Amino acid sequence: MVDYTEDEMNFIKENKGDFVGLNYYTRRIIQADKNDYHLRAKQIYRPTIKRAEYDNWEINPEAFYKILMNLTEEYGEIPFYITENGTTSIDTITDGCVHDPNRIKYMKRHFAAVHQAIEDGCNIKGYFVWSLLDNYEWAFGFTKRFGIIYTDYDDSCNRIIKDSGHFLASVIRKNGFNID
């Protein structure tokens, strides 16, 4: 634990940051593990919560909304940027197109949560979908695909915009941004 002087605490209170960046993928519920003598925690799994196809991550945009509103209450009018938000998906290639309907469902639900947070006073200035491209991921290597653009790892590294990439482009266009 760090002890700050009164002068340091006053400086912190008077000098807020420029913005808050938030990466959100999933909610995790943790409880103490009573069977562990080292007082470690364990994750609790709720069987009724929908999970991502490739892993055990909960799909819980309601928790995303709650975090945004808690941060708004804590930090006030400071600008917020969603610096990463996304999920894995089992992508299928048919006739040169990459279909990822579950990623689109995830995106729709999380976009709705962010929209509701904005309506309820959260000062969100930017939102970055995770990830632009399928790539080498630090925890999973090339085994999972996170991007909205498919990368052909085995051949020429050709790329195909997935259905989720086209969906994101349509959302951006409908909201008045020219991306052509």
Confidence of residue 118 (pLDDT cuts 50, 70, 90): very high
Percent of the chain with pLDDT over 90: 53
- Across 147-163, average pLDDT: 91
Q: Parallel, antiparallel, or unpaired for β 124-129 and 92-94?
A: unpaired
Domains of the chain (ranges plus CATH)?
17-26+58-174 (3.20.20.80)
pLDDT tens per residue, range 94-112: 999 999 999 999 999 999 9
Note if the pTM is more than 0.85: no
